[in-house]
A and B are shown apart, each in its own frame.
Chain A
Amino acid sequence: MTRSGAWKSVMNVLMFSLTGLCTLFTIGTLLFILGYLVSHGASALNWAFFTKLPVPVGEIGGGMANAIVGSAKVLLLATLIGVPIGFLGGVYLNEYAGAAAAFVIRYATDLLNGVPSIVIGIVVYTLVVHPMGHFSTVSGGVALGIMMIPIAVRSTEEFLHAVPNSLREAATALGASKWKTIVTVVVPAAITGIITGTMLDLARVAGETAPLLFTALNNQFWSAGWSHPTATLPVMIFAYAIAPYDDWHRQAWAAGFVLLMFVLAINITARFILSRASYAPRGMV
């Protein structure tokens, strides 16, 4: 082998080993995050975390029951707002829209997806919180609902797109009108994918903190209702992490653990369901 040939194979081995090292390091980061949160968060977790209210500064113990309920309420509202708009918009994109309309809507969706979450918070503040006069659970739901729209649109569109046209033609041949075809044939064929898309969407906004800071705000007690501020898990983690008390840090780890497990469980379940969906777009499975 010539000298340059040897150099070539040394470079070959060296560079590919480096890329392997990069991958190892990236995967290692994930495993470290998981491992640390499980070991540190799970040990900080106790029954009181799920059943008790936060206690005043200086007292040890208490839990985040109000934040768990608050998060559930905000997420429920977000789903009710974001998913119908996103789903119907996705149906329009794939089944009705002409090229120009599709371009405009798709572009708007991508743009909305790229808006930093803190900016969504500002806008919901000026549109909902300011006119209402106070921070509220509803405004938090609106903020997260807006954030859910783009992914709902994209996943609906992609899964509808994966439904073969022969199904539409068959339904039409049997005399079904276009909307009947969509409602009874096309959407049911894609429903598994659309539901998993919604689950992933929910997991994504479940951890959002920034848009809740000045919409749902925070609350040390049970929220007085939909039009009042509420605690949520992500905001509690933030508030407890930056506070100077050890017991609050412990609770922040516990909350982080609960939140992360929720998000990862949804992600892994969705991936599992998707791998069995009958019509799935390429790249999603």
Chain B
Amino acid sequence: MATYPSTANSRALPPGGRARSFLRRGQVGEDVAYLVTLVAAATIFLITSLIFYELFVQSAVSRQKFGFHFLFTQTWDPIAGNFGALPFIYGTVVTAALSLLIAIPQGLGSAIFLAELAPRRVSDSLTFLIELLAAVPSVIYGLLGIFILVPFLQARVVPVLKAVFGFLPIFQGVFYGVSYFSAGVVLSVMIMPFIVSVSREVLLAVPKDQREASLALGGSRWQTTWHVVVPYALKGIMGSIFLALARALGETMAVTMVIGNTPQIKASLLAPGYSIAAVIANEFTEAVGSLYISSLIELGLVLFVVTFIINGLARLMIMAASRGGAHS
């Protein structure tokens, strides 16, 4: 809150003549301004609560019928009215994990380069470019995924992977293009800017004397970076990773377009699958019957709760990392 000096026109002032009506007018304006902004702020709180409330209430039919089995059942059969979320949870987790596996090394590498090696001006402009990646709409990532990435993976990457790692169960089976693998790769590009830009900030916030102490002890620049600066900033880096994870779990369009939309659980990353957000996007408008709709809403509830927890953790870590730094 911005601090104001105690003002002259508080209610305590002795009233009198014209000044009195002027002061009263000021006081009314004061109250109105306060109320209007308070109502707006309360609305934000209400909307957020309302989202949770609606998801909870509207998923009642499904929750009562299936209970916690909903989360561990593999069947998704709208005709028989049997709904289980496991294939979607599996697909969501696998694609998000794969995207982190690609984005963490690359993102952290970029952040280290931008924070430790690049001159500040160069680093700032490159970071701006990387942040533009976050501004690209997800449906455009989907478009590029379908028409560029999938054919590329099919022609170049997957044959090599199969030749080298084909003995592993995760790289077996026929590759049709749309798959967990394609979705994970698209997601990794989408979450990269979050990891790079937040990690770079926390790396830059590491005090100079930490670096100087290590260099004075004879550490090379890389040793200093890897053994001193990165551990010092680890909480903030973890925070950026959790932020990216929450993003990856909730991402809808790009995943829907390349994951294959098949409700099954396969060990192979090359098989088509499905994710929570994708099944909601595809089936919600066509769902008939309260059980079907409420099952889809329950999937939304699962997604909401999971991203809520992960975002909360991310925020705590980033707050802990930037303690004493800039405000907020």
Query: Is B80 an interface residue, CB under 8 A from the partner?
Result: no
A residues contacting B by CB (< 8 A) are 8-9, 11-12, 15-16, 18-23, 25-27, 29-30, 33, 36-37, 84-89, 91-99, 101-102, 104-105, 108-112, 114-123, 125-127, 146, 149-150, 153, 157-158, 160-161, 163, 165, 168-169, 172-173, 175, 177-183, 186, 203-204, 206-210, 213-214, 217, 234, 237-238, 241-242, 249, 252-253, 256, 259-260, 263-264, 267, 271, 281-283
- From B130-138, B159-167, B206-214, the one touching the partner chain is B130-138
Closest to B287 in A: A214
A264 / chain B contacts, CB cutoff of 8 Å? 132, 135
Cα separation A267 to B136 with both chains bound (whole Å): 10
Looking at chain A's contact residues, the main secondary structure is helix
Query: Is B129 an interface residue, CB under 8 A from the partner?
Result: yes
- The count of A-to-B residue pairs whose CB atoms sit within 8 angstroms is 298
**Structural contact, A256 and B29, CB atoms closer than 8 A:** no
**Structural contact, B140 and A37, CB atoms closer than 8 A:** yes
Cα separation A149 to B46 with both chains bound (whole Å): 12
- Among the interface residues B32, B114, B249, which one has the most CB atoms of the partner chain A within 10 A? B114
How many chain-B residues does the 8 Å CB contact rule pick out?
97
- From B49-57, B67-75, B231-239, B263-271, the one touching the partner chain is B49-57
Query: Is B157 an interface residue, CB under 8 A from the partner?
Result: no
**Structural contact, A114 and B257, CB atoms closer than 8 A:** no
Nearest CB of A to B303, in Å: 6
Mask of B2-19 contacts with A, CB within 8 angstroms, 1/0: 111101110000000000
B327 / chain A contacts, CB cutoff of 8 Å? 161, 281
Residue contacts A-B, CB under 8 angstroms, 10 given = A8-B220, A11-B223, A12-B223, A37-B140, A96-B34, A116-B249, A168-B3, A168-B4, A234-B253, A281-B327
A85 / chain B contacts, CB cutoff of 8 Å? 40, 43-44
Question: Beyond A20-B117, A178-B30: 16 further Cβ-contacts under 8 Å?
Answer: A19-B113, A27-B130, A111-B308, A119-B55, A122-B296, A168-B2, A177-B30, A180-B29, A181-B4, A207-B137, A209-B137, A241-B257, A253-B143, A256-B139, A281-B326, A281-B327
